[in-house]
Structure 1
Amino acid sequence: MTAVKPFAIEVPDEVLDDLHRRLDATRWFDPLPGAGWEEGTDLDYLKELCRYWRHDYDWRAVEAQLNLFPQYTTTIDNQRIHFIHARCRNPDAMALVIHHGWPGSITEFAKVIEPLREHFHVVCPSLPGYGFSGPTSEPGWTPRRMAAASLELMSRLGYDRFGAQGGDWGAMVTTQMALQAPERLTGIHLNLIIAPEPPPGSVRDLTDEERAALSEGRTRNLAERGYRVQQATRPQTLSVGLNDSPAGLAAWIVEKFLVWSDIGPDNDIEASFTKDELLTNVMVYWVTGTIASANRLYYETRIGGRGASAPDRQVEVPTAYARFPGDGIFPARPWVEYWYNIVRWTEMPRGGHFASLEAPDLYIDDVVATFGELGQS
């Protein structure tokens, strides 16, 4: 069996020096008056964020905080896998693996790992191709393959039966785990669900309210799909610029933290996230050089077909769904209940796509309640 090795984040000084040089040399353009966030990332906000990044942000302090979490690496399916493994003080506690998505990282869970650790043995991997797992070195890394890697990781850590949680791509990885090894999953908890329309006649007709929500979601999807189309068709072209320019990388990622979050019409992104939280997530991509392989997940999934991500058969494992209003995903409940064995459905009062970072209290309570109800059966 491949060894599990302790790991600490230690970014070389020359990487930080190079970052500072690139930030100093950013070639800005002048947006049209009043462009704001409507045309993408607000340039005035981005300039201030990059100024803060260059002169006030302290990566070494953040690095030290992240290194308080027990971290490890191992190799699975020819790919390095980095993960946090925070054991509960109760040796008989249930294990829980939690998965991030794009454009997130393990830093999404910085506020929730210790509280969850009071109830679970927490395993938090960097997805293959993301962050400290490093770039992928071969094609084929879809959510299906990532799920197989997470299942192997849990076996390697000695967990035969456990719970799993995820949002964004992490929800798809979690779903694939439930499809591949239902006997090993006590239950799954998702804060995003993609539920295709079931076969005709298999579920009740949607209510007017459900149809309106579905229509609203589709309208939003049309407006927001640009990044996804690019990453699913020509990720390499895009990634050249993102891997070369820290300002460009921040613009690409930070926009999603605004658009997918529970932020009011004034577009005050810092009502939900601090500059340090935004930049720490961006830094994980920058210092590891993983934006290209992270973006490639969209391409791999497109060519892999629907069964590589969304379910192509019904998920039998008990499933909890927490819908956070800022996320912008409005799945039709009858469709969700066709594909998933829904045992808990929570409409959250606030929060968005990055739920564990934006609304950690709600996220923690719902995860703990879910697996408390399911028990360790």
Structure 2
Amino acid sequence: MSTGAAPTPTPFRIEIPETDLTDLRERLSRTRWPEAETVEGWSQGMPLAYTRELAEYWRDGYEWRATERRLAELPQYRLAIDGLAVHYAHVRSPHPGALPLLVTHGWPGSITDLLDLVEPLTRPEDPADAFDLVLPSLPGYGFSDKPSGTGWGVDRMAKAFAQLMAALGYERYGAHGTDWGSFITGALGTADPDHLAGIHLAMPFAAPPKEQVELSERDLAGLAKLKEFQQNEGGYATIQATRPQTLGYGLTDSPVGQLAWAAEKYWAWSDHDGDLDKAIARDRVLDAVSVNWFTRTAVSSARIYWESYNNMALAPVHVPTACVTYPKDGRMPRAWCERRFTDLRSWIDHEAGGHFPALEDPRLLAEELRAFFRPLR
């Protein structure tokens, strides 16, 4: 950041032009559909019948303006950090002494994934558990600027968010994240330890330790599942880590392309019996898809894979840490995580749940955040 006067946050309001909504509906009506899959289920990707149903609902049933009004209830700003304007919602609790909490989303989501956390965290039953929330859009995502050059990987984003919290006047704060937000939160533990009360990670990652460690049956099962994920589900990440620009032309031009690319992940990574609506309401899935579509961030959001997917230090973290895992999400061995997160205070293995805890069970996630940070205030 500049050594001169500190940058001033600019108030921001999300207002998608009506012409963009009309264009979306027209494009959805003109979709060129492929033939149906040749198998039952999802093994070839998102089935045609489900995709058509969801696209028709996006066109005729989903109300973006309702989500826009929901977002408008949150004070939002953009602040220049490291050459980019970073968008964020800043929701202060009405209770004095609330702990600042930075919450970061991941791909293919946006801050819309986090909205159900706002009420239980800023207005808890016990005022002593209250948080002031800072919900940023990752650089290249949503309403933050898109980097025009290379270098915007996990570590740089973590440093940018440390600068954001400092600019907001917070000398001590907590952080939570999942997906890329988990990696950024872990990197924040290395980049800004003097100001962190603690970090809370869904989907923690750590490198294998150099020394031999004993792994439990649950650890071994988690590693086997990660290997299976790479073989059967990891194609999207390989493409985004190698050819995000090529992918982006189709996703930026076709709303159904953007819809299928993102919605497949909400279906595959959440915990349900085959009916996604039982885990995550389709309006919430379409919130994130709509943000990606209206902001034309298919390429810029994918580039974090190109920047970081095979280039993360996973450096040691010495601040108080909580890790939570879910059966429909990636699970690293606890023994590995204990060596990276040297002050591991809490480890919870859930028996249910998936990759999107703020959407699948926000009340439970809020309870766990309150419980972890309670003794750290």
Query: Normalised by the size of structure 2, how large is the TM-score?
Result: 0.94
Quick check: 2:120–2:363 contact (8 Å CA) kept in 1?
Answer: no
Shift, 1:68, TM fit: 0.7
TM-superposed deviation, 1:302: 4.2
Partner of 2:360: 358
**1:33 Cα deviation (Å)?**
4.3
Displacement of 1:90 in angstroms is: 2.1
Q: Counterparts of 1:26-45 in structure 2 under 5 Å? A: 26-45=31-50
- Match runs of 1:281-360 below 5 Å: 281-302=288-309, 305-307=311-313, 311-312=314-315, 314-327=316-329, 329-340=330-341, 341-360=343-362
Does the 8 Å CA contact 2:37/2:47 hold for their aligned counterparts?
A: no
In 2 relative to 1, CA 268–223 (structure 1 residues): closer, same or farther, beyond 3 Å? same
Please list, as runs of the form range in 1=range in 2, the aligned pairs for 1:74-223 lying within 5 A after superposition: 74-118=79-123, 119-201=130-212, 204-223=213-232
Match of 2:242 in 1: 233
Runs of 4+ with >4 A deviation? none
Is structure 2 residue 63 aligned with structure 1 residue 58? yes
> Which SS does the other structure have where 2:93 is aligned?
coil
What residue number does 2:127 align with? Answer: none
Percent of residue pairs bearing the same amino acid type: 41
Contact 2:37 / 2:48 at 8 angstroms: preserved in 1?
Answer: no
Query: 1:11 — aligned with what?
Result: 16
Q: CA deviation at 1:121?
A: 0.6
- Aligned partner letter, 1:298: Y
Query: Which is worse superposed, 36-45 or 166-175?
Result: 36-45
Equivalent pair of 2:116/2:358 in contact (CA under 8 Å)? yes
Q: Partners in 2 of 1:209 and 1:55 — Cα distance?
A: 45
1:18: how far off? 1.2
How far residue 168 of structure 1 moved from its aligned partner, in angstroms, is 0.5
CA distance in 1, matches of 2:7, 2:331: 42
Q: Name the SS of the counterpart of 2:41 in structure 1.
A: coil
Deviation at residue 181 of structure 1 after TM alignment: 1.4
Superposition RMSD on alpha carbons, in Å?
A: 1.3
User: Which residue identity does 1:300 align to in structure 2?
Assistant: E
Is 1:242 the counterpart of 2:251? The answer is: yes
- In the alignment, the residues of structure 1 paired with residue 145 and residue 61 of structure 2 have an alpha-carbon distance, to the nearest angstrom, of 27
In the alignment, the residues of structure 2 paired with residue 209 and residue 364 of structure 1 have an alpha-carbon distance, to the nearest angstrom, of 26
The one-letter code matched in structure 2 to 1:70 is: P
* Deviations 1:316-355, CA, capped at 9 Å, x for gaps: 011001112221x121110010111210011223221111
1:251 aligns with 2:256: no
Higher mean displacement: 38-47 or 144-153: 38-47
Whether the 8 Å CA contact 2:154–2:312 is kept in 1: the answer is no
SS of the residue 2:319 aligns to: strand
Q: Secondary structure at the match of 1:205?
A: coil
TM-score when normalising by structure 1: 0.94
Deviations 1:270-296, CA, capped at 9 Å, x for gaps: 111222111111001011111110001
- Partners of 2:91 and 2:8 lie apart in 1 by 18
Contact 1:36 1:43 in 2 (8 A): no
**Equivalent pair of 2:158/2:187 in contact (CA under 8 Å):** yes
Residue equivalent to 1:367: 369
Corresponding letter in the other structure for 1:245: S
In 2 relative to 1, CA 83–209 (structure 1 residues): closer, same or farther, beyond 3 Å? closer
1:49–1:208 distance in 2 versus 1, CA, 3 Å: closer
In structure 1, how many angstroms separate the alpha carbons of the residues matched to 2:49 and 2:309?
35
The letter for the 2-side match of 1:124 is L
Q: 1:297-327: CA deviations, max 9, x gaps?
A: 1001147x222xxx13x21011001112221
Which residue identity lines up with residue 335 of structure 1 in the other structure?
W
Letter in 2 for 1:271: K
